[in-house]
Structure 1
Amino acid sequence: MNRNRGRRLALRAGAAPLVLIAATLGFPAFAQDAPQESTSTSQNVGISAVPTGSGEPNQSVDENQGTIVVTGSRIARRDLTSDSPLAVVSQEEFKLSGAVNVESVMNTLPQVIPGSTGFSNNPGGGVATLNLRGLGSNRNLVLVNGRRYMFYDTSQVVDLNTIPAFLIDGVDVVTGGASAVYGSDAIAGVVNFRLRNDINGVEAGSQYSITGEGDGRRWDTYLAMGTDFDEGRGHITAYGEYYQRGAIFQGARDFSAVALGDDGTSLVPLGSPSVPNGRFYVNPSTVCVGGTGATCAGGTNFTRGAGSLSANGTLGQYYTGPNTSRPFTTDDYYNYAPDNLLQVPQERWMLGAYANYEVNEWFNPYLEVSFVNNRVQNELAATPISGTFGIALDNPFLSAADASSLAAIDAQEAAIDAALIAAGGTARYGNPGVVNVALASRTNAVSSRQALDDRNAFRVLIGTTGAVTGDIKYDAYYSYARTRNSNIQYGNISRSAFAAELLANRLNIFGPGLISAEEIAAISITTQNTDISELQVAQASISGSLFDFGLGGGDVGFALGAEYRSVESQFIPDQALSSGDVVGFNGGDPTAGGYNVKEVFGELRVPLLGGMPFAERLELNGAFRYSDYSLGGVGGVWTYTGGAQWAPIRDITFRGQYSRAVRAPNVAELFGGLSNGFPGATDPCATPGAQNDAGLVAICTATGVPAGAVGSGTSLQPASQIEGVFGGNPNLQEEVSDTYTAGVILAPRFLPGFHLTADYFHIKVDNVVTSLGGGVGGILNLCYNVFRDVNSIYCQAIARNEDGTIQNPSFVTAVNANAASLKTSGIDLSADYTQTLGFGLFGAESKLNAFFQGTWTEKNEFAPVVGEAPYTCAGYFGANYCGTPQSKYKWSSRLSLIDGPMTASLRWRYLSSVKADSIANADVDPAELAVPKLKAKNYIDLAFSFDLTDTYNFSFGVNNVGNVKPQLIGDDQEQANTYPGVYDVLGRDFYAAVRFRF
């Protein structure tokens, strides 16, 4: 197999010429919700109330009553205010940023820490995920048109690749728990993608993007058609898209071309000792026959190891050509970085349609159908294979020196076996003519390792809405979604076939590129894992107005409903991967399971006062949901929320909210396949001196250790490894969160066109699902050295035999558990100002819009063990505790000039500096680290758009105008010597687009 296979997906369309095409009509950007007095959409360009399809709350408009359903509530209202912080991303932001994939815009939001992206190669997966507030992609709920969307695997997370960016009318991002309104998973918040339902005629477009280096080509083309029918009683929209993204290898960028690691306080090239030319050694050792002790008293010490294969220790011999070898040096380490992908190739087909029809006032059926085929390929350097393998003395590929060394070692083994047999023992080596040699090779001649995720996602939804009475409406729907992914892996090696072919003198790994086509076929193995997931949702609700208190506040609004959800998901690993014979990609344990939940919910909005002194508006809101899960560990749970808004005058509104939310454990956490492992660990009860600690003796005896065995060393712990059972836990409970938010909205009448919002948020999550104690060693430490409570989950996880040992049939249960906690808090700030100018190049006047949205993260903490000091991650990064960098200050701002048919826009993205997580969490001196700090990053983007006619729009832009490059990282990196999802790795990036409608 040729490594060019890794490029086929990306380059199938060839290097198309750069077409100047265009992005957008109107102006940018993100915005928080507008205050009640906002009346001009031209002054609040990020806020809009656009008609969408029938159904659940998604900021839709009631044409007759002028009411709006805002994300985060099911009750229609006459303004866009919300008790909880609500950020809105307009469709113009997608156009002005040149974004084709949804995550490209969402990851610039201050509330978001990037999850999986188009730069996720290792780990990969072929998906794009959303991670609100850094609490994890499985702790925020993604909706489309206000309804749950299809997820892609047993983690039950939505792949943003399945959402059509070209149809997005806007995105609402609600901070904090929203389980009372939407159900499980809405812990960090809710992200609702609202799709357009106003297409009449044909709209089409195409966009081409390329980096300043001339690579990473991306091409997108789409077509959408919509029409009213039956005199406007019905509407139908159909659409299709094709998208292709080219590959970029790490070797194409200076910062990622060489693998780096830490060497004390410096970054140094880091390679692999598994090399394409092959490395071989027999480490010298001695065998005592007939004697005892370290000096073999009374016996004879035999040496095993001779000649060139043993002269260089564990570095061994290195082959530079056929039958030619020399001592290996550290300069011969293999640089695997250039063969890894930086930007992963993608190919996507998307088809869909949605329609609604008003039969009469009481019956308005609607339908949504979508299908997505998404193909994403990850690619790594060729498979490294190491271990001990038998090599025959008559192997024709050896150098003369190594053949002589092998013969001498074989003779030593024969002498040792003879001495052992003469002493009444058994032969240790046997098999004369074959010597077991340690080797570290890399199969470049076979191919690189490639994993192709070929994912099909299908969803259908059918429902109806209508009037119950003049003020009360109903909505009911059923949706079914199914996702199937085939993860096809190339470049794997069968260890058994490798060993057999090597022993038979057919496999030539002694030098570069010497493996024949026949041998490549003999040792290679292609594997395939499969994921299948299904989601069914049935929901019915009524909502409307009840009565008016008569104090100027308006009607009391309510919503009531019931919902049923069914989740099924499974992971089917390739049998070869599960066998342990495959080298290249990791195996996995089979996972299969599901559950259902029945729910009732309600919501109430009570406008108490309106139009009074110091009470321009005073409103209370509340919601509840009761969920009955088929899971024994969860059962029935309540979630609820309460909030208030108070506008003493028209110019200012105060708001606050408290929410209790939950997340039910997902299929992977519940039903992940169990496996046994034998990690190195120390039993504290066995350590010498344990008898001197009365508290330790007490807890050891309470958990089954005989009093006399405490501190007995190897008698109590015969081996350095202790067996553990790892995997899913069907008895998991739900995660529980409490969210507090408080904020203010300003819209001063003396400054028309200006709006400002500031919101404080505090989210705490308890009962967080994690691997219990971090593993066997952690469980033992927490039971015996930290908590010393026989009833703690850590002590309960330890099983001992009657003699106190932890060995077969006893073990430590290290499955998933509700053992951790999360906490985050901070302030969101948004400002928006539009000013009409008294001049224009293309008209009598123009407009200038300035927008800012930023977040200060006060804290982001993770406590893997409740009761222990948490890890501090706000303002930190690293491989030890925090992972992805979490800047304390993150913002995005735009300045746009709208002059008739022309829009010119400048965007400024900012990420504050972050420090190595070991500084905050392990008291490490920054002077001892190679990279103690990552500097702040500023990115400037430019976009231009022009309406050539009423039909054609042309736009182009440049992202990262300054060609800002990522700072180099060693051991603390994610991949490519940086964090590609956070820091720009493409460099200066150009795009051009054309759109037309008729």
Structure 2
Amino acid sequence: MLNAYRSRLLTSTLLVGTALFAQPAFAQVSDPATTPGATTQEATATDATPADIVVTGTLISNPNLTTSSPVTVIGSNEIQLRQSNTAEQLLRDTPGVAANVGSSTNNGNGGASFVDLRGLGTNRNIVLLDGARIVPANLNGAVDLNNIPLALVERVDVLTGGASTTYGADAVSGVVNFVTKRDFAGVDLNVSEQITDRGDGNIFRADLTVGANFDDGRGNAVLALGYQQADPVFFANSRPRSDLTIDSFDGSGSGASQTAVPARFSVSGVGNRNIDPATGALVPVYALFNFNPYNIFQTPFERFNLFSSARYEVSDHVEVYSQGLFSQNTVSTIIAPSGTFSSPMFLPLNNPFLPASARSTFCARNDSNPNLAGIQTLTAAECAAAATATSPNDPNYREVSTNISRRLVEAGGRISDYRTQIFNFKAGVRGDLTDSIRYDVYGAYGRSDNTQTIRNYVYTDRFQQALRATSTTACVDPSNGCVPINVFGGAGTISPEAVNFLLVPATSGQRASLGQVHGVLTTDLFRVGDNEPVSVAVGSEYRKYTAETYADILAQNPGALGGAGGATVPVTGGYSVVEGFAEAIAPVLSDVSFFKALTLEAGVRYSSYKVDAPGNPKFDAWTYKGGVTWEVVDSFKLRGNYQRAVRAPTIGELFTSNSVGLVNLRNDPCQNGGNAIAATSVLGQVCAAQGAPVAAGFITPIDPPSAGQINGSFSYSTNNRPETADTYTVGAVITPTVLSGFTMSVDYYNIKVRNALTTPAVGDVIAACFANLTAASATSAACTSIRRDPATGGLDGDPSTTAGVPQPLTNSGRLMTDGIDLVANFRTSITDDVKLALSFNGNYVFNSKFQASAGGLNRECTGYYSINCSYSGSILPQFTFNQRTTVSVGGADLSLLWRHISSNRQEPFDADASNFGSNGPAFAAFRKIPAYNYFDLSARFQVTDHFQLTVTGINIFDVQPPTVGSNIGSTTFNSGNTYPQTYDAIGRRFAVTGRVTF
């Protein structure tokens, strides 16, 4: 396998090189020169004409003006050196960006990848393409980065801090603007291959860009086509740190899921019991399931994408332009086998596979007549008669109620295929009305359709049907080709025929659309002295959002498919917004003492929202900004910016129906450390009031949450209102004349979000009930709102019977973060042929606070990990930086990228065992993650005028990820005993790209 992959890798590159020599040379526009690895915090412009300059953070396109907003720029040169295959991978390693759902997210990946600026959530930043919004991927308004055409991207601008005045709501933590190449002419063909040194995780990518100028340069058209395919990387494939599920709090490696093989059954009055296949007895739980080997660190991915743009100058005052994006991609996730996850079932006592010992226990302890209240027991004679009953019509026929937890390992892992089709089209007209008045008007429409098809999931109704068997080959109800199942043995006792009967695929999905019309006038007004003129932009925008969730009958039925989580509830919603805005940039001083230049800027935007709901709820919002740039001397500039930002509720936050899903918890207070809980004690009364069963004066023993997951009851409302935020940035730009080629910027940022739309942290919900128990607690809403499985007493279980902890979405949250960004670049010539380039981009976080709900703990989440910290669910390290060193000799570059992540540790509140809602200290080795350093080495060769070869070693020292166990954080981000979106869990890999240009 390894040799085959390497052969494919080399063959692809050689084919590209061979193609070079078979083609004639044509004129082309050269790639704009950028410092190797350059990142900067100066808002930069392309080499386009002044009217077309894209300056992220302002609507005013004057190339002679700079704004007060710091912008980090990732140039096309850096993109080439990193050999990133998706935009999410590129942004994930950028300091100031918190890792979110992406290619290393498996359980919790919905088929899309997102960016999370400052760790404030994917729904608090905007993704733009050439300064314009594109259609979101889902009901929550986030854009899927898998669809961005990296091959045509000239640069990526990352503006952190509020930008609602310029771009509208959602830009609380900033914007990411992908700026494409303008006036591209020629052909650019890239073919790349990537593989790990373990021989897996192969990624193939090919991109072809063709462009031409026409009519003496008055017009230009570009077409880009791309294909990408990535293979999975399994936990267990030469990665021993992740092949066993490890408990984060006791360090045991016996697995984490109580849905296992052999099966687990609930028994009235005594709790859960495992079946012992050797004796047929129901014994205390001893089998935990190791789900890790089935899971993956890299999701399979296939993408076809198309991007086109065109422009034509109809006259000196009118230019028409258009842009189209189409992408079809499939992301697959693979997780451990399905089964019955504490699913309530009726077990006939005449089941032909039921061992006599287990039957005796059920007869004595379980409800043998579901129509009668309480535990109905059978005598030995009645039990024996029930065992020989021939059919449900037999008067001796009896069934017992039990919750069954059994993995269907015979079927293999659960697979979810997410297929996304997206198109986004924009057309507009722009030009000069006069020498000083410019206009730009465009309309755009986009639609995204994400369809999920799940396979290898057990249909629990058929499981119940197969339990009611009259023999080992026949079911009471033979419909659908029913095959009896044996759930009382070990792996392999369920026949292939029974597996085929139990598995039924299901389909669900999400559609979203965005229609928009945008118009802006910019003009230069008067001058203050000899300064540049005061520039003003005014305009209006209309946007219409619609979105829906759809599902087949199976996906809509909670608990119908084992291990599918809660039901997918159909949702349809939308809203529209009409906005008016204005911005001004005013140079007020220049070339006077201590004022080489002084520029002021201001902006305001009014937004009026109308929700497509009964009564047509409406709300409005004002955003505004003010900034100053003070260039003291040529080499020293100060800048500051204040913005009032807003974020309107998304369609998901307004319209989603109440449903049960999964959240994380490791310790349930009603477990009581395994000690018996008297039903008359305060704790016992509370547990019973929440639905825990009682037997013989004690709470039935409750097992820990399976795999660290419990149920959460989510609720939403069309009464949710916009969030408000205040953002500040203050910084300096230094370009010393005594050190030619050196630039540095340092900026302090502060972002506070009030009335944030959040759900309560699970730890807060638990603490609100159990932290201060009194006699009244059993009737308090804080306690009775928590609902347990009526058979097992656990907070995990079938979503149709177990609501778990309440998770209402309300405007009661608060978020705050502040820190410093530092960017430095230096470029010099050592000799005429040897050049040196150094770049540094770092982010230091002082605070990242998260208060999930009123009265909840105001958590400090900087550098901490737990199920409650942080808002995004991933880790936000205190200090991260990227440092690149590039030596260029003639047509060759050798470049080393150093990526640093500071140390992180368990959240102190979570580690404090004296607090309810905490898990207590983790296993000693898992309480802290040391600082991590990764090194990537790239070599780029300009082999001929038309052929370039780039070879990159990623994580060249094969640094292994930290081990923290499987249940110290959220399931989405704490996977494979580590955090694979934050740390490199795949290991050393190699990438090679051949590029032909003509």
Q: Give 1:402 deviation, angstroms.
A: 5.2
User: Counterpart of 1:829?
Assistant: 822
Q: Does structure 2 conserve the Cα–Cα contact (< 8 Å) formed by 1:249 and 1:339?
A: yes
**Partner of 1:251: helix, strand, or coil?**
coil
2: CA distance between counterparts of 1:70 and 1:785?
Answer: 57
Residues 774/328 of structure 1: CA separation in 2 closer, same or farther (3 Å cut): closer
Sort the Cα spacing of 1:384 and 1:634 in 2 relative to 1 into closer, same or farther, 3 A.
same
Q: Tell me the residue number matched to 1:760.
A: 748
Q: Which string of whole-angstrom CA distances, capped at 9 and with x for unpartnered residues, describes residues 830-853 of structure 1?
A: 110001112xxxxx4221000001
In 1, Cα distance between equivalents of 2:563 and 2:764: 27
2:958 aligned to which of 963, 983, 996 = 963
- What's 1:444 paired with? 409
In 2: Cα distance, 1:775 partner to 1:146 partner:
40
2:339 matches 1:384: yes
Structure 1 pair 461–756 and aligned structure 2 pair: CA distance change class (3 A): same
1:619 is aligned to 599
Out of 471, 475, 500, the residue aligned to residue 521 of structure 1 is 500
Post-superposition offset of 1:987 = 0.6
Deviations 1:736-763, CA, capped at 9 Å, x for gaps: 1101111000001111100010001000
Q: 1:746 to 1:500 in 2, by over 3 A?
A: same
Bigger Cα displacement from structure 2, 868-877 vs 457-466? 868-877
Q: Which moved more, 1:473-482 or 1:93-102?
A: 93-102
Give the equivalent residue in structure 2 for 1:636.
Answer: 620
CA contact (8 A) 1:940 1:959 kept: yes
- Aligned equivalent of 1:952, options 941, 947, 950: 947
1:533 aligns with 2:512: yes
Q: Call closer, same or farther: CA 1:415–1:812 in 2, change over 3 Å.
A: closer
Q: 1:900 aligned to 2:878?
A: no
Q: CA–CA distance in 2 between the matches of 1:672 and 1:653?
A: 48
| Structure 1 residues 26 and 18, CA gap change in structure 2 (3 angstroms) | farther
The answer as to 2:958 corresponding to 1:993 is no
Instruction: Please say if residues 20 and 992 of structure 1, whose CA atoms lie closer than 8 Å, have aligned partners that are also in contact.
Output: no
Q: Distance in 2 between matches of 1:981 and 1:965?
A: 13
**Contact residue 658 and residue 739 of structure 1 kept, 8 A:** yes
Partner of residue 397 from structure 1, selected from 328, 353, 378 = 353
CA distance in 2 between counterparts of 1:767 and 1:914 reads 29
Q: 2:652 aligns with which of 668, 679, 687?
A: 668
What letter corresponds to residue 936 of structure 1 in structure 2?
A
Deviation, 1:651, is 0.8
CA contact (8 A) 2:758 2:853 kept: no
Distance 1:771 1:523, change over 3 A: same
User: Is the contact between residue 634 and residue 732 of structure 1 (CA under 8 Å) also seen in structure 2?
Assistant: no
1:650 aligns with 2:605: no
Asked whether the equivalents of residues 236 and 242 of structure 2 are also in contact (C-alpha less than 8 Å), the reply is: yes
Summarize deviations over 1:768-823 as a string: whole Å, max 9, x none.
0023686996798699999xxxxxx999x99xxxxxxxxxxxx9996421101100
Contact 1:11-1:246 within 8 A present in 2 as well: no
User: What amino acid is the match of 2:422?
Assistant: A
Matching residue of 2:730: 742
Cα distance, 1:960 vs structure 2: 0.5
Distance change in 2, residues 1:931/1:226 (3 Å): same
Amino acid at match of 2:305: M
CA distance in 2, matches of 1:394, 1:993: 65
Q: Superposed, which structure 2 residues align to 1:247-266 within 5 Å?
A: 247-252=232-237, 253-264=239-250, 266=251
Q: What CA distance in whole angstroms lies between the structure 2 residues aligned with 1:99 and 1:479?
A: 29
CA deviation string 1:159-186 (max 9, x = no partner): 1011011111001111211111110110
Would the aligned equivalents of 2:158 and 2:177 in 1 still touch at CA under 8 Å? Answer: yes
What are structure 2's unaligned runs of at least 5 residues? 18-30, 369-375, 384-393, 472-483, 664-680, 693-710, 775-780, 787-803, 915-919
Q: 1:562 to 1:990 in 2, by over 3 A?
A: same
Name the CA shift for 1:408/1:754 in 2 (closer, same or farther; >3 Å): closer
| One-letter amino acid of the counterpart of residue 609, structure 1 | L
2-side partners of 1:872 and 1:544: how far apart?
46
Closer/same/farther in 2, CA of residues 516 and 724 from structure 1, 3 Å limit: closer
CA contact (8 A) 1:200 1:227 kept: yes
Alpha-carbon displacement from aligned partner over 1:553-607 (angstroms, at most 9, x marks no partner): 2111110100000000011133212222222212222222110000111110110
**Deviations 1:511-560, CA, capped at 9 Å, x for gaps:** 4323334322322221111211000110111112112112x321111101
1:235 equivalenced with 2:220 (yes/no): yes
Q: Distance in 1 between matches of 2:59 and 2:958?
A: 45
Residue 853 of structure 2 aligns to a residue in which SS?
Answer: coil
Q: Does 1:343 align with 2:298?
A: yes
Q: Which residue of 1 aligns with 2:45?
A: 49
**Cα distance in 1 between the residues matched to 2:685 and 2:365:** 37
Query: Is the 2:596–2:633 Cα contact (8 Å) retained in structure 1?
Result: yes
Q: Which amino acid aligns with 2:335?
A: L
**Residue in structure 1 matched with residue 541 of structure 2 by the alignment:** 563
Match of 1:689 in 2: none
> Per-residue displacement from partner, 1:448-504 (whole Å, max 9, x unpaired)?
211100110011111010111011110000000000111001122121211111221
Q: Deviations over 1:98-134 (max 9, x none)?
A: 1111111211111100111101111111211000000
**CA deviation map 1:605-631 (0-9, x unaligned):** 110111222111011001111111114
Per the alignment, residue 803 of structure 1 pairs with none
1:267 Cα offset (Å): 4.8
**Please, which moves more after superposition, 203-212 or 326-335?**
326-335
Question: Larger Rg: 1 or 2?
Answer: 1
Equivalence for 1:43 = none
Contact 2:735–2:742, Cα closer than 8 Å, also in 1 = yes
Measured at CA, do residues 433 and 630 of structure 1 come closer, stay the same or move farther in structure 2, by a change above 3 Å?
A: closer
Kept after mapping to 2: 8 A contact 1:880/1:918: no
Equivalences for residues 251-290 of structure 1 within 5 A:
251-252=236-237, 253-264=239-250, 266-279=251-264, 282=267
- Structure-1 residue corresponding to 2:677: none
Pairwise CA distance, 1:342: 1.7
Residue 590 of structure 2: which of 592, 602, 610 is its match?
610
Match of 1:426 in 2: none
Letter in 1 for 2:397: P
Percent identity, aligned pairs only, is 30
Question: How many angstroms does 1:916 deviate by?
Answer: 0.6
Is residue 264–residue 285 contact of structure 2 (8 Å, CA) maintained in 1? no
**Which 5+ residue runs of structure 1 have no aligned equivalent?**
1-6, 35-46, 52-59, 286-312, 420-428, 680-710, 787-792, 799-810, 839-843
On the 8 A contact 2:540/2:580 being kept in 1, the answer is yes
What is the DSSP-based 3-state SS (H/G/I as helix, E as strand, rest coil) of the residue aligned with 2:501?
Answer: helix
TM-score calculated relative to the size of structure 1: 0.81
The one of 931, 934, 942 aligned to 2:929: 934
State the partner residue of 1:191: 176
Aligned to 1:695: none
Aligned residue in 2 for 1:318: 276
1:32 equivalent among 26, 31, 40: 40
Are the structure 2 counterparts of residues 416 and 852 from structure 1 closer, same or farther at C-alpha, using a change threshold of 3 Å? same
Q: CA RMSD in A?
A: 3.8
Counterpart of 1:463?
Answer: 428
Using the TM superposition, name which of 395-404 and 496-505 deviates more.
395-404
Following superposition, the deviation at residue 991 of structure 1 comes to 0.3
The whole-number CA distance in structure 1 between the counterparts of 2:3 and 2:135 is 29
Conserved in 1, the CA contact under 8 Å of 2:54 and 2:130? no
- SS for the counterpart of 2:458 is strand
Q: Where in structure 2 are the equivalents of 1:594-609 lying within 5 Å? A: 594-609=574-589
Structure 1 residue 986 displacement after superposition: 1.2
Q: Distance in 2 between matches of 1:785 and 1:179?
A: 45
The answer (yes or no) to whether the contact 2:50–2:63 under 8 Å persists in 1 is: no
- Distance in 1 between residues matched to 2:256 and 2:888, nearest whole Å: 53
Q: Assess if the C-alpha contact under 8 Å between 2:281 and 2:357 holds in 1.
A: no
Residue deviations 1:893-943 (CA, integer Å, cap 9, x gap): 100012221111001000000111135885878687552211100001100
Match of residue 845, structure 1, among 815, 823, 833: 833
AA partner of residue 588 (structure 1): T
Look up the match of 2:442. Answer: 477
Correspondence for 1:720? 690
The separation in 2 between residues aligned to 1:980 and 1:270, in whole angstroms, is 19
Structure 1 counterpart of 2:980, one-letter code? P
The 8 Å contact of residues 748 and 819 in structure 2, kept in 1 or not, is answered as yes
Superposed, which structure 2 residues align to 1:700-711 within 5 Å?
A: none
Q: 1:772 to 1:871 in 2, by over 3 A?
A: closer
**Structure 1 residue 399 displacement after superposition:** 5.1
